[in-house]
Amino acid sequence: MRLIGRRLALYALTFWVAITVNFLLPHLMPGNPIQTMIGKLTGTVTPAEIRSIRLAFGGGLNQSLLSQYFTYIGQLLHGNLGFSFTNSKNVSSILVQYVPWTICLIGVATFISFLIGTVTGALLGWTRGSRLDSLIPTATFFQATPYFFLASVMLLFFASKLGWFPPQDGYNIYALNLHPGWTWEFVLSALRYGQLPLISIVLSSVAGWMLGMRNMMVTMVAEDFVLMSIAMGLPKRKVIWAAARNAVLPSIANLSLAIGLVVSGALLVELVFNYPGVGDLLLNAISSEDYPLIQGIFLVITLAVLAANLLADLVYLLLDPRTRTEVAP
C-alpha cells in the first residue's frame, strides 16, 4: 500500500509538471505564438470563440503570469481544454471521439506483445546457447527499426502488394450504412481494419520485451534456487515457471520507460494507416498549427501513460509478495 501511495504521488506530480510545461511553453517561447495564432484567426472565427481560446491559455494579456496560470488550471479542472479552431469544436469533445480507437489499438497491441515477448524471452534465456539464439540479431534489428517505417513496409507488402488487409482507415468508410456505434457490422469492420496496425505495433515492440526478459532469465537460471529445484527433481515446467516468475519482475518494474516509448511509437503507426486515433489527430493538429488541440492531446496521452504505469505497479504488487509487507524497508 505504501508503494502504491508513493507511486500515486509521483504520478500526480508528473501530471502537474506536464500541465505546467503545457502552460509555460506558449508563454515563454520567443515570438509569442498565442498572439500570432489569434492574429491569424481574427476574421475567420467569432469573437466568442477567440475569447474561449484565450481563456484556455490562461486569459487576457494584461494579467500577470501567475494569475493566468491559475485561470488555466481552473479551466482544466472544469474539463475545458480549449477550442480547436480547425474543427470548430471543443477540444474535449473531439478527443472523446478519437481516444477510444487509440486505447483499444495500443492497449491490445501492448498486451499481446508483452505476452509473446516475455514467453519467448523466457524460453530463449532458458535454452541459451542453443540454435534459438540466432533469433537475437533479428530481434535487435526489429527493435532498432522505427515503428512507422516498419508499418510503412507492412502496408506496402501486405495491403498494397498482396492485398491481404485493407490498407487504410479504422473501418470501411465507403460502406454507406456503416456508422460508428455498437452494431455488429461496425465492430467486425473495425476488427478487420485494425489487424494490420495491430500486427505492426506488436512486431515493433515485441523485441524489446523479449531481449529484456532473456537477459534477466539468463541471470536467473544461474541462481542457486534453480539448481536446487532441479536437484529436487521438480518437473522442468515448474522450474522454468519459478525462474520466469522471478525474471519478469524487472521487466514490469521498467514498464514506465517502455510504455512511454511504445505509445509514442504506436501513435505514428496510426498515421501510416490513417487510423482514426489520437496519433492521426495530432498530426493534423500540428500541420494546421492548432495549438489548443496539440496541448489537449499531450495532456490526454500523458494521463493515459500514467494510468498504464499505475496498472503496471499493481501487477508488480500482485507478483512480488515482498512489496506487500507493511514493514518499512
Q: Smallest distance from the beta carbon of 219 to another protein, in angstroms?
A: 6
Output the CA angle 273-98-181, nearest 5 degrees.
100
Which backbone phi and psi does 310 adopt, to 5 degrees?
Answer: -65, -40
Measured between its terminal Cα atoms, the distance across the chain in Å is: 13
Q: Smallest distance from the beta carbon of 129 to another protein, in angstroms?
A: 5
CA distance linking residue 271 with residue 312, whole number of Å: 27
Judge whether 224 and 75 are in contact, CB under 8 Å. no
Q: Smallest distance from the beta carbon of 282 to another protein, in angstroms?
A: 7
Nearer to another protein, 180 or 250 (CB): 250
Q: Smallest distance from the beta carbon of 289 to another protein, in angstroms?
A: 7
Nearer to another protein, 96 or 227 (CB): 227
Pairing type for strands 83-84 and 89-90 reads antiparallel
Nearer to another protein, 56 or 216 (CB): 216
C-beta neighbour count of 278 within 10 angstroms: 28
CA distance linking residue 306 with residue 286, whole number of Å: 23
Which backbone phi and psi does 88 adopt, to 5 degrees?
Answer: 50, 45
Q: Which residues pair with 45 in a beta bridge?
A: 42
Sign of the four-CA dihedral 24, 29, 35, 37: negative
Q: Is 153 helix (H, G, I), strand (E, B) or coil?
A: helix
Nearer to another protein, 43 or 137 (CB): 137
Q: Smallest distance from the beta carbon of 177 to another protein, in angstroms?
A: 26
CA distance linking residue 48 with residue 14, whole number of Å: 33
Closest CA to 139 of 124, 157, 159, 154: 124
Nearer to another protein, 53 or 221 (CB): 221
Nearer to another protein, 46 or 157 (CB): 157
Nearer to another protein, 140 or 195 (CB): 140
Q: Smallest distance from the beta carbon of 142 to another protein, in angstroms?
A: 9
Q: Smallest distance from the beta carbon of 138 to another protein, in angstroms?
A: 10
C-beta neighbour count of 214 within 10 angstroms: 27
